[in-house]
Amino acid sequence: MTAPAAEFAANFASDNVSGVCPEILEAIARANAGPAMPYGEDEITRRLEAQVAEIFEHEVAVFPLATGSAANSLALSALVPRYGAIYCHREAHVNVDECGAPEFFTGGAKLVPLEGLHAKIDAATVAAAVSGAGVVHHVQPAAVSITQASEQGTVYTPQEVAALAAVAREHRLVLHMDGARFANALARLSCTPAEASWKAGVDVLTLGATKNGALAAEAAIFFRPKQAADFGFLRKRGGHLFSKMRFVSAQLEAYLTGDLWLRNAMHANAQATRLAEGLAALPGVELTAPVEANEVFAALPRALVEGLQARGFVFYVWRDAGPKPLVRFVTAFDTRAADVAALLAEAARLAGVGAGADQR
């Protein structure tokens, strides 16, 4: 007997379909006690900078923000001249998913798209791409931007980051890390936040919280505070300085308190791993990238894709070409193990194997 669709259908479209985790919602409510000076002059925002410095074991300049596109674009705009070149993977969020925000905020800098396995760029590719320094006809090499975890759910090791940083230093480029899913990457790596960032050579990290349990909270973290001299002005003129900033800062504070960020990320990662293992065991299913964070990319037989959709499971068809569409599943801090199990059971049933098939 098959349960009605509504009962086990679940949403794997993105980690931003999730709501807010309880600890963060409570922090917002708690921040609502009495008046507080606006625009970051409040106590919570002040505490946040100290907290980030402690967690990252480094002097930092921290700027609370509310969207990842804003965090990335503002960070780049503080570091890259208008005629600068930013080297990134062709699939990078900054290159393809922000409607040109980096170009807008930098005043016209150019994102130079590079190739690389599983949405990661490597040091050799960047080294080969850097050119034109000092020649007025060409945009000037200015930054390397990497996404951690990447757009295919893979994770840069500190060694890989350090190799990129070495190339960056050689050419006087800044190294920007888009950490929309930094916690998911960190949960995967056996290292400290410091090792995953400035110790590996990262100059500026845009640390995401929204995809991992916050309502709307990101932070631009500069490990060389002098590089942030302009940031306050750029944030304001970008319309990203919140008058009641305490409510953004409160989210970040709660996120970083008591390892909430890592616990949320570990949960999401674990669900993704389980989902990936289950799918990979099915005939005709092929994982197209290692599952190292909270995203699963897999080529599925078309019948399987359509069958899951018909049963109410929500996910993105990433590329629909050929007999096996490439599909993306994303798990989150609140993904229920039962939902993963339900999807796997249904997939097995559709594939005519395993427990799901037996029960028919």
Contacts of its own copies in 45-74 (CB under 8 A): 65-71, 73-74
Near its own copies by CB under 8 A: residue from 58, 104, 127, 307? 104
Q: How far apart are CA 66 and CA 216, in angstroms?
A: 5
Q: Torsion angle of alpha carbons 74, 78, 83, 89, nearest 10°? A: -60
CB of 237 to its own copies, least distance (A): 4
Closest contact distance (angstroms) between CB of 59 and its own copies is: 21
**Among residues 8, 27, 28, 313, the one that binds its own copies under rule CB under 8 A:** 28
Residue 43: how many other CB atoms lie within 10 Å: 12
Position among 1, 4, 7, 99 found at the interface with its own copies (CB under 8 A):
99
Question: Which residue pairs, CB below 8 angstroms and at least 24 apart, start in 247-250?
Answer: 247/28, 247/31, 247/32, 248/64, 248/65, 248/66, 248/216, 248/217, 249/31, 249/40, 249/42, 249/44, 249/45, 249/47, 249/48, 249/64, 250/27, 250/28, 250/30, 250/31, 250/44
Interface region with its own copies, contact rule CB under 8 A, candidates 29-37, 192-200, 266-274, 282-290? 29-37
Nearer to its own copies, 111 or 347 (CB): 111
| 24-32, 118-126, 275-283, 288-296 -> range binding its own copies (CB under 8 A) | 24-32
Among 48, 52, 61, 111, binds its own copies (CB under 8 A): 111
Asked if 176 touches its own copies (CB under 8 A), the answer is no
Residues 6+ apart with CB under 8 A from 54: none
Region label for 298, one of left (φ > 0), alpha (ψ between -120 and 50) or beta (otherwise): beta
- Closer Cβ to its own copies, 339 or 346, answer by number: 339
| Helix (H), strand (E) at residue 326 | strand 326-330
CA 252 to chain centre: 15
Integer Cα distance of 13 and 335 in angstroms: 11
* Of residues 11 and 288, the one with the C-beta less far from its own copies: 11
Stretch in the footprint of its own copies (CB under 8 A) among 14-22, 252-260, 262-270, 277-285? 14-22
Among 1, 7, 136, 360, binds its own copies (CB under 8 A): 136
Which one, of 253, 205, 195, 317, lies nearest residue 44 by Cα?
Answer: 253
Among 49, 103, 295, 346, binds its own copies (CB under 8 A): 103
**Binders in 220-279 for its own copies, by CB under 8 A:** 230, 232-244, 247-248
Note whether 316 binds its own copies by CB under 8 A.
no
Task: Decide: is 283 part of the binding site for its own copies (CB under 8 A).
Answer: no
Work out how close the CB of 349 gets to its own copies at its nearest, in angstroms, rounded to a whole number: 23
